[in-house]
Amino acid sequence: MTLRRTLPLLALPAAAALVLSGCSTGDSGSGSGSASADGLSIVTSTNVYGDIAKTVGGDAVDVTSIISDPSQDPHSFEADARTQLAVSKADVVVENGGGYDDFVDTLVDASGTDATVIDAVDVSGLDADDHADEAEHTDEATDDATAEGDEHGHDHGEFNEHVFYDLPTMAKLATAIADELGRLDPSGADTYTANADAFGTKISDLESQAADVKAAHDGESVAYTEPVPGYLFDAMGLENVTPEAFSEAIEEGTDVSPAVLNETLQLFSGGTVDLLAYNEQTSSPETEQVEKAATDAGVAIVPVTELLPSGDDYVSWQQSNIDAIKAALDK
């Protein structure tokens, strides 16, 4: 968790204040301590973090999630004056970090806010070095031509920034949010802590379910169009065999070479994998070919998303993901 003192606020159109309420995901509540009459203000990069912040803060917080629309890509999102204004008024900002939502850092640096910035990647304690052994092993098994064709210099096992699929990290994040809200609003500290603990109990149940999947399917091979569910796969003991050059190209919106695409398609025609996780928020001719190859081969397809589906909270969302993966593997 980092506390950033930032640059002077940029000039914003007066009309921005009139439309700001359109991005709020939480109702106003009564705060205390340093909380305003309208509650502490939390701005989060996506509705995933907005839901967790609201779960911890309850009625004492107003939460604004910058991205809630599945058509918006956090990797390339460009904020407007309304978003800038929300950040400038925030008491707490929650971001994913790790390069996933750099627009948040840009907004914080430009807004003049004294808000505490909670970075989920920092909170996670995860590090790219944790995957070094996996990277070395996978690279040895990768065709030299494929490795040379990755013009972006990504290695197998590169740090996966999608930490919102890492269940222990989200429990830690809830605790970090509770700690900061308790600092800002001491009279509500016990409530924030209790809310975070209750959330953590639900996360522990999800972790137990993931461990059960691992007990039944440890070592089974899976593929994905992007590394979005990677941490959940790891918790289930599943081995991702997707060519790194394919998933990285899809994630970055760059061309997939014919050789890499062919290597990916052969995973399904050759019966190598038991499941394909398909990122519903990103579609391209290459991912559609992969989806068709999986369908033709009778390989189960599990849709995954980077944002909360309508009507879901974080726990129900991940419960649905676990249920879908388990059902696919049990077939």
Asked if residue 60 has pLDDT above 50, the reply is yes
Contacts of 253 (CB under 8 A, 6+ apart): 76, 284
| Residue 211 falls inside a structural domain | no
Q: Are residues 24 and 98 in the same domain?
A: yes
Asked if residue 280 has pLDDT above 80, the reply is yes
Phi, psi of 22 (to 5 degrees): -65, -20
Percent of the chain residues past pLDDT 70, beyond the cut: 78
Q: What average pLDDT score do residues 21-41 get?
A: 46
Q: Measured between alpha carbons, how far is 277 from 295 in angstroms, rounded to an integer?
A: 12
Q: Are residues 170 and 157 in the same domain?
A: no
| Residue 187 falls inside a structural domain | yes
Length of the chain in terms of residues written? 331
Q: Are residues 174 and 33 in the same domain?
A: yes
How sure is the predictor about 38, in pLDDT bands with cuts at 50, 70 and 90?
A: low
- Rounded to 10 degrees, the C-alpha dihedral 273/275/277/278 comes to 90
Partner residues linked to 240 by β-bridges = 222
DSSP 130-191: GGHHHHHHHHHHS-HHHHHH-TT-PPTT-----GGG-HHHHHHHHHHHHHHHHHH-GGGHHH
CB 281 within 8 A of CB 257: no
| Tens digits of residue pLDDT in 63-120 | 999 999 877 777 667 778 889 999 999 999 999 999 999 999 999 999 989 999 999 9
Structure tokens at 141: 């098994």
Average pLDDT, the chain: 83
Q: Are residues 141 and 186 in the same domain?
A: no
Cα–Cα distances in angstroms (integers) from residue 1 to residues 55, 57, 189, in the given order: 19, 17, 18
Q: Are residues 77 and 186 in the same domain?
A: yes
